[in-house]
Amino acid sequence: MKTYNIRVRADYVGYYNIKAKSLNDAEAMAQQQLFDEMNDGVDGVFDFEEFEDEEHQAHKQLVQWAENQ
């Protein structure tokens, strides 16, 4: 069997009218509502891409460099 390096990305978008005391509360409530509806009421978009391991290692090094700046 062959090993494949696969990157998977899923985007979910939901639109909600939220009544809350603050924007932070509203965002948290909307996020929870989206989580509750994922794979049921909210359609997801999936993107698959095969990648070279060297590319992934370079990406991880770049992220690590950025975090240390």
Residue range 7-59, pLDDT digits in tens: 888 888 888 999 999 999 999 999 999 888 887 766 677 788 777 777 778 87
CA distance 56 to 51: 7
pTM of the model: 0.54
Q: Which pLDDT belongs to residue 64?
A: 86
Task: Report H helices in the chain.
Answer: 23-37, 53-67
Give the pLDDT confidence score for residue 20 in this predicted structure: 95
Q: What are the boundaries of each domain within the chain?
A: 6-67
How much is the pLDDT for 12?
82
